[in-house]
Amino acid sequence: MRMKMQLKVVTASFLGLWAFAGFAQQQVGDLAPNPTLDGYLAAIESDTRVQQVLQDYHDEADNRFKEHMEVVRIASPSRQEYYRAKELYDRLIAFGFADSDLVFTGKNNSGIMPGSAVQQVDGLKVYQTCAVIPGTWTGATDGANGIYARPKVVIEGHIDTVNPSEIPGFDPDAKPLPWYYEPVKMQPAGDPLASTAAELAAIPKELNFDANGKVVEDANWTAAKTRFTNLNDAAQNGGHRIYVPGYSDAINNTIGVYHLAKLFKTHDIKPVHDIWFCFTAGEEGRGNLAGMKQLYGYNQDNAAAIPADNGRNKLNIVANLSIDGGNMTMQFLGSYRYEVNYKGINGAREASRRIGRIAEVYSPSDDGTSTQKTTYTVGIAYKKDDGSTSFEIDMRAPQVPALNEMKSRLYPKFGVGTTTEDGVEIAQLWYGDRPAHIVDEAYVRSDPLIYAAWKTRCNVFGACSRLPTTENDASSVNDNIPAAINIPTLNLNLGVTAAGGGGHAFNEWGVRGSQATEDNNVKRVLYTLLAVSGLASTSGAEIVPAAYPPKAPGHTNEVWDSETIWQK
């Protein structure tokens, strides 16, 4: 059961502002008007410092795009995100954040996030960074646990990419070396798409960087930063595709989150609940949502115990905003993923035989035993360094019972933990628990986070769109983790591209898009964020958190030992 809405009004004058700047009391799509939340949104919109943040976000668009290019070229495959996490940490320190206001899990190459109930995922360290904007709230869960037990809202973008699949010689204890930089290729937008690695490598034009990793402001930079409305516009007017893994998924969004953290610091924005601006690990590929599992204390090895011992939320996160290109994504498709290994002289033949047997299996939606769409596939097959043959299985469904049923049908086909007649050893590696979660209509109509994001879109963009409330609207994203342990979460968008493609591929590309859309995106995200975190306004009055109480579901006020936990 999710938390119910708790509303408290501190300053009555704020409620008188509910009709300000378009936040009029009116029907919002299928949602009934909420005058109190409308009042919060209006007061946030009218706040002087909030408007300064928006103005700077607009004015610093080119500098933000430089940051985008400088960070995205740092190779960051899932579970090897150390270098990009360290880069963002270093930049925040240089900007003026104190070390005490930053959480960098790469300290001493520890992978440790103080206060979390989970430190490793799949036996691997988690490398990520968060910038903390302290709130004005004080209460019983503060004290010994410091910033780690204080109520907080997380806004996050992920820093990992699918490609390259690994960094050769990955070693966080070594000094950064040039081999972890990817080239940023620039191709005239009217040319045929580079469809092979050789074609991409042959493109001569690149964005140039100096010895300190900063963009060189030459003719190539001028061409790269030019905005267009679509690919045809770019092709006809000298635009370029910019090729680099992670261009859109998700570094343009993540840099938006990073830039907001800096602007909160610049303008001394004071929320009521703390805000953590996080740059998370493991969203892509085999990352297994590692960053979110660490943040939310989600122990995938104890998934059956949700929420009794799984998702202890020791960090006391009361709400989550993931910035990964969504438009109010609120339904989350679950998946189980496995690698099955066949070792022996006849391993390849046995693997082929087992893949054929999987084709005999019907999913619960295929045979009519479930109305939930359930799918499965053998994604890839490959040889491993030890000579074994492996393939990966991906099962997806919008709710856990359908996933469990699919698992029970597929498992017998593997012969996991056995040896075949011709001596082939079979082993299975679990690496993919993305918990499913579907919210019901009653929750959609009562949740303040949903209302704030929906109402803000209606007013900022001048139109309301359909609430994405059906199972067919579900996506598999970082939000799966907080949703599974009953933390309110939505997936929104900051980044803008005029055109793009190649997501999850070596030839991911984008063309810079509309400034007006980018401005509207940040308004929507900023107003929604402050509506759930609260704001100590410029006038001195406090807009209390409009959504959630200072103790989140699953929060346990356990004291951690700061001297011990940082030991390598």
pLDDT, tens digit (0-9, with 9 covering 90-100), for 492-511: 999 999 999 999 999 999 99
Residue 141: per-residue pLDDT: 53
Q: Pick 276 or 298 by higher pLDDT.
A: 276
Rounded to 5, what percent of the chain is helix, strand, coil? 35, 20, 45
What gap in Å lies between CA 137 and CA 308, rounded to an integer? Answer: 28
Please report, as a single letter, which amino acid is at residue 247: Y
Q: For the whole prediction, is pTM greater than 0.85?
A: yes
The residue with greater pLDDT, 122 or 104, is: 104
The answer to whether 261 touches 92, Cβ cutoff 8 Å, is yes
Question: What pLDDT shows up at residue 184?
Answer: 98
- Is 559 a residue whose pLDDT tops 80? no
- Choose the most confident range, by mean pLDDT, from 323-337, 377-391, 475-489, 514-528: 514-528
Q: Which of 253-257, 276-280, 413-417, 562-566 has the lowest mean pLDDT?
A: 562-566
3-state SS assignment for residue 187: strand
Chain-centre distance of CA 436, in angstroms? Answer: 16
Classify residue 218 by its DSSP letter: S
Confidence of residue 302 (pLDDT cuts 50, 70, 90): low
Mean pLDDT (whole number) for 133-143: 73
Residues of the chain with CATH 3.40.630.10: 67-169+247-331+438-562
pLDDT of 546 reads 53
pLDDT of residue 28: 41
**What is the model's pLDDT at position 14?**
27
Averaged pLDDT score across all residues of the chain: 85
Are the CB atoms for 245 and 161 separated by under 8 Å? yes
The 10s digit of each residue's pLDDT in 212-228 is 999 999 999 999 999 99
Q: Say if CB 23 and CB 452 are below 8 A apart.
A: no
The label of the residue with tokens 């998370």 reads: 280
If phi > 0 it is left, if psi is from -120 to 50 it is alpha, else beta; for residue 50 that is alpha
Q: Is pLDDT larger for residue 32 or for residue 301?
A: 32
Confidence of residue 356 (pLDDT cuts 50, 70, 90): confident
Whether 29 shows a pLDDT value over 90: the answer reads no
Please, what's the largest Cα pairwise distance for the chain? 80
Which one has a higher pLDDT value, 187 or 350?
187
Alpha carbon distance 12, 414 (integer Å): 64
- 334-434: CATH number: 3.30.70.360
Q: How many CB atoms lie within 10 A of CB 556?
A: 13
Do 404 and 396 contact (CB within 8 A), yes or no?
Answer: no
User: In this predicted structure, what is the pLDDT of residue 451?
Assistant: 92
Percentage of the chain beyond pLDDT 70 is 87
Q: What is the pLDDT of residue 251?
A: 97
Check pLDDT > 80 for residue 162: yes
- CATH 3.30.70.360 intervals, the chain: 334-434
Asked if 389 contacts 397 with a C-beta cutoff of 8 angstroms, the reply is no
Identify the CA nearest to 49 among candidates 545, 543, 550: 543
| Position 24 pLDDT exceeds 50 | no
CA neighbor of 328 nearest in space, from 29, 8, 91, 534: 29
- Is the pLDDT score of 308 beyond 60? no
**325 within 8 A of 248, measured Cβ to Cβ:** yes
Q: Are 321 and 482 in contact (CB under 8 A)?
A: no
- Rounded distance, CA 557 to CA 294, Å? 17
217: nearest Cα among 381, 70, 417: 70
The span from the CA of 459 to the CA of 420, in Å, is 64
> Between 3.40.250.10, 3.40.50.2020, 1.10.260.40, 3.40.630.10, what CATH number should domain 67-169+247-331+438-562 receive?
3.40.630.10
DSSP 367: T
Q: Which helix (H) or strand (E) holds 8?
A: none
Note the pLDDT of residue 2.
32
- pLDDT at residue number 439: 86
pLDDT value at 34 more than 90: no
Cα 224 to Cα 68, 72, 114, 188, 241: the distances in Å are: 12, 14, 40, 10, 8
**Which pLDDT band, with edges at 50, 70 and 90, does 412 fall under?**
confident
Instruction: Yes or no: say if 109 and 172 are a contact pair by the CB < 8 Å rule.
Output: yes
Predicted pLDDT of residue 426:
83
Per-residue pLDDT of 433-470, as tens digits, reads 899 888 888 888 888 999 999 999 998 998 876 788 87
pLDDT at 129 over 90: yes
> Distance between CA atoms of 212 and 250, rounded to whole angstroms?
24
List the one residue out of 62, 64, 63, 102 whose CA is nearest residue 86. 102
Is the pLDDT assigned to residue 61 strictly greater than 70?
A: yes
| pLDDT the model gives residue 473 | 83
**In degrees rounded to 5, what are phi and psi of residue 375?**
-130, 160
- Are residues 378 and 372 in contact, defined by beta-carbon separation less than 8 angstroms? no
* Average pLDDT, integer, range 106-112: 95
23: pLDDT strictly greater than 60: no
What pLDDT, on a 0 to 100 scale, did the predictor assign at position 13?
27
pLDDT for residue 268: 96
